[in-house]
Amino acid sequence: MSSRDYDCIVIGAGVQGSFTAYNLAKNNKKTLLLEQFVLPHSRGSSHGQTRIIRKAYDEDYYTHMMEECYQLWSQLEKEANVKLYRRTGLLVMGPEQGDYQVFKSTLERNKVPIVILPREEFSQHIPHVNLSQGNAALVDTTAGVLYADRTLKTVQGQFQKLGGVIKDAQKVIDITPGSVVTVTTVSGVYRAKRLVITAGPWANTLLSHTGLQLPLQVLKINVCYWREKIPGSYNVQHRFPCFIQLESEEAKHHIYGLPSNEYPGLMKICYHTGPETDPDERDRQTDKGDIDILQRYITRCFPGLVPIPAMVESCMYTVTPDNHFVLDHHPTHSNIIIGAGFSAYRISCYQHIA
């Protein structure tokens, strides 16, 4: 096997592709991981310091999946001797007869440890948050924060220790399917028995070379950080949890947040959707409707935060019409595997593509 021939090529070195390559290498497969940008970068969906990990979902199979995910995260921490997860709990809030009840039932049915917070006791447990009228609240006590940037660096390092090859600045310009798949980049030509495409917002661009298009929509997300009026009010050190607001007066989509941790005195709170964008020209998308929604919500429910974002970063979501990800063989070429549309559930599925 030449230096340009592999058992498997993975296109896209975000968290999904990197974990896929890592697991392939653990299974003694000669693997090449290709990335179009110079690593590290902030042009996709995997950058940033933190993500939420949780078992609180509206479908049993996601909660089941998380059992294995937690084990795999712990295993990687031990292998690399790096802390990647911090348990904080996840505060779930929502109208009692809406999605909240579905989440609560899923957690109870799967015997996930939770704490129900009666309205009259809510402020004792969760200070500096106003529970909306008609809302109920619980805490998924197993949930927490994943250190995303650190994770990506760690898993790529472990992949290389196992003999894996990473080539960045390698934008793919052609894919030729066959019993041996040929991948052409701006810098070279590579061949493999199998190909995995985990290219996030660029999935359909790559799939077009294989005669396939998926119903994927790319969204630009404004990642907003809000300043504490009193430093430490929402700090991870003071055991403030992550949270998800399932429905609200302000919006039909979820609002989620993580305790102040990444930047001193700033809490990350985001809206779980955004305007459609072209991944190669996302900075042209300047819609700030989501920030207006967040400002109204924070004014009403998080009185300890200044309701003007102190900092706004951006990332991209890639979603399917039903918000469930695609993980399957190519319908025509069975040695091409596709992983796409993870954004709706990307918070915790990082370990599961391989």
Q: What string of pLDDT tens digits covers the 354 residues of the chain?
A: 556 999 999 999 999 999 999 999 999 999 999 998 887 666 666 666 789 999 999 999 999 999 999 999 999 999 999 999 999 999 999 999 889 999 999 999 999 999 999 999 999 999 999 999 999 999 999 999 999 889 999 999 999 999 999 999 999 999 999 999 999 999 999 999 999 999 999 999 999 999 999 999 999 989 999 999 999 999 998 999 999 999 888 878 899 999 998 889 999 999 988 888 988 887 777 778 899 999 999 999 999 999 999 999 988 899 999 999 999 999 999 999 999 999 855 444 444 444
Candidates 182, 227, 218, 236; CA nearest to 341 is: 218
Per DSSP, the three-state class of 330 is coil
- Cis? peptide before 40, omega within 30° of 0: yes
For the chain, the maximum distance between any two Cα atoms, rounded to a whole number of angstroms, is 68
Instruction: Provide the residue type at 80 as one letter.
Output: A
End-to-end distance of the chain based on CA atoms, in angstroms?
24
- Cis? peptide before 201, omega within 30° of 0: no
Taking CA atoms, 326 is separated from 34, 148, 320, in Å, by 20, 22, 8
The C-alpha atoms of residue 327 and residue 197 are separated, in whole angstroms, by 10
The C-alpha atoms of residue 296 and residue 255 are separated, in whole angstroms, by 12
